[in-house]
Amino acid sequence: MPNKTPVGILGATGIVGQRFVQMLEHHPWFEVAWLAASDRSEGKLYGEAARWRMKTSLPDRVAQMRVSPASPEGAPKIIFAALDASIASELEPRFANAGCAVVSNSSALRMQSDVPLVIPEVNPDHIKLLECQTWRKKSHGFVVTNPNCSAIGLVMALAPLQQQFGIETVMAVTMQAVSGAGYPGVASLDILGNVIPYIPKEEEKMEEETLKLLGQINGSKIIPAPFGMSAHCNRVAVEDGHTESVSIKLKKKPKPEEIIHSWTEFRSVPQELKLPSAPEQPLRYISNADRPQPRFDVDAGHGMSASVGRLRPCSVLDWKFTVLSHNTIRGAAGAALLNAELLKVQGYLD
Ligand SMILES: NC(=O)c1ccc[n+]([C@@H]2O[C@H](COP(=O)([O-])OP(=O)(O)OC[C@H]3O[C@@H](n4cnc5c(N)ncnc54)[C@H](OP(=O)(O)O)[C@@H]3O)[C@@H](O)[C@H]2O)c1
């Protein structure tokens, strides 16, 4: 415990909350000191309140912690938030107002103009937006968000293409894992042997978040990236890992090896700073014709790398490819942890 910064988890009993518990267990900088969930869990031992779904054991120390009420009194300064959007829209501002640094997974505030939506490899400079937040000016509290679990893998693959070749149009079709719907999530009778071509609000989130993430910061606002973007989102019977089929039109006309090189050589601030949760290689390209697949590739880089494959010409746009990323690690808890690590080295958590 000495030398580690105490952190809290809001929504600690859910799928993303559990992933936070798992990922923080051996974290070199942060340590779980407070857990909160709904009044259904409040007052119980965490081990009783959470139906543990991770493949590693629930740490004993955390199992014995008591679930606190979801209110800022008694909470540590740094809060990882994993709440449904409807609840987050009320609770996250309350914690920020009370002086907490809220590192959120929820969509509630992602598109608010003064709230940074950040992937540390892609747009670390957007963190500066938090200086415009009223909470920050009043109590030093703030909210920083990470993107939707389907936007993050796509945007990681698009970032080097946009930097080097410019993007004109993107079409993406997702095949999203059931763990993306939380626990218990989608009923087994709805998803077994089935594909559900509808995830509420997911297509809108993917489209608007992609343009904000790849946009430019200009003083107190983000100018969205100026390309056309269309997403189709589907739920499939996969446990973890969102796979996406992407078609893209670029401004320049690179050779395929130049595109692959832009992915495999992509490194950014988290790698330069050697942040603890940063993967060595954020994007890996797999040349096997039938990869990436969730079964084999979802845990690449401890779940923090996105895997790209199947680059080939597109007869409508320029190129087609497949990208896969882990929805509860790179798409949720790991994304928030990396954001918090970046905030720490920049002095925002002091
Ligand atoms: N799953 C993913 O792959 C993923 C990826 C990216 C982002 N997200 C986002 O992360 C958030 C959490 O998702 P999840 O999948 O972990 O959902 P989940 O499994 O349904 O967990 C929801 C959590 O919120 C708590 N909660 C519910 N009502 C509450 C209230 N009134 N006050 C305080 N806590 C309350 C629940 O506590 P109880 O157990 O006490 O009910 C539980 O801890 C969502 O906004 C989701 O969109 C999820």
User: How is 127-152 classified by DSSP, letter by letter?
Assistant: GGGGGG-HHHHHHS-EEEE---HHHH
Q: Is 2 exposed, middle or buried (0-12, 13-18, 19+ CB in 10 A)?
A: exposed
3-state secondary structure of 156: helix
Find the 84 Cα to ligand 1 centroid distance in Å. Answer: 5
Query: Which whole number is the average pLDDT over 109-130?
Result: 98
- Residue matched to tokens 């690179």: 254
Q: Report the distance separating Cα 280 and Cα 8, nearest Å.
A: 27
pLDDT of residue 46: 98
Give the tens place of pLDDT for each residue, 224-256: 999 999 999 999 999 999 999 999 999 999 999
pLDDT band at 18 (very low <50, low <70, confident <90, very high): very high
Q: Is the CB of 120 under 6 A from ligand 1?
A: no
Instruction: Supply the residue whose CA is at minimum distance from atom 39 of ligand 1.
Output: 13
Distance from C-alpha of 96 to C-alpha of 203, rounded to nearest angstrom: 28
Predicted confidence (pLDDT) per residue in 275-289, tens digit: 999 999 999 999 999
* 14 CA to centre of ligand 1 in angstroms: 5
By CB atoms closer than 10 A (0-12, 13-18, 19+), residue 299 is middle
Query: Whose CA is closest to atom 14 on ligand 1?
Result: 182
Q: Whose CA is nearest to atom 30 of ligand 1?
A: 38
C-alpha span between 75 and 63 (Å, rounded): 18
| pLDDT interval class at 3 (50, 70, 90) | confident
User: How does residue 2 score in pLDDT terms, banded at 50, 70 and 90?
Assistant: low
Please answer whether residues 127 and 118 qualify as being in contact, where contact means their C-beta atoms are separated by less than 8 angstroms: yes
With a 6 Å cutoff on the Cβ, whether 182 touches ligand 1 is yes
Residue 100 is a catalytic residue: no
pTM value > 0.85: yes
Whether 149 is a known active-site residue: answer: yes
Give yes or no for residue 89 CB within 6 A of ligand 1: no
**CB-based contact 254:342 (threshold 8 Å):** no
pLDDT at residue 1 tops 60: no
Q: Which atom of ligand 1 is nearest to the CA of 37?
A: 34
Residue 324 pLDDT > 90, yes or no?
A: yes
Q: Angle at which helices 149-165 and 202-213 pack, to 10 degrees?
A: 40
Does residue 138 register a pLDDT over 90? yes
- Ligand 1 center from residue 265 Cα (angstroms): 35
Per-residue pLDDT averaged across 161-179, rounded? 98
- Percent of the chain at pLDDT > 70 equals 99
Residue 200: count other Cβ atoms within 10 Å of its Cβ: 9
Q: Count the helix, strand and coil residues of the chain and give each as a percent rounded to the nearest 5.
A: 35, 25, 40
In the numeric block, the tokens 């490819």 are attached to 321
CA of 16 from ligand 1 middle (Å) equals 7
Residue 50: Cβ within 10 Å count: 24
- Catalytic hit among 242, 261, 302, 326: 242
Q: Which ranges in 248-304 belong to alpha helices (H)?
A: 256-264, 269-272, 294-297
Which of 18, 38, 206, when mutated, tests ligand 1's pocket best, judged by the most ligand atoms within 8 Å of its CB? Answer: 38
User: For a pocket test of ligand 1, which of 23, 54, 84 has the largest count of ligand atoms closer than 8 A to its C-beta?
Assistant: 84
**Residue carrying structure tokens 């798409």:** 331
Place of tokens 């993050």: 152
Residue 16 near ligand 1, beta carbon < 6 Å: yes
Return mean pLDDT, the chain.
97
pLDDT in tens, 27-74: 999 999 999 999 999 999 999 999 999 999 999 999 999 999 999 999
Distance separating alpha carbons of residues 290 and 310, to the nearest angstrom: 8
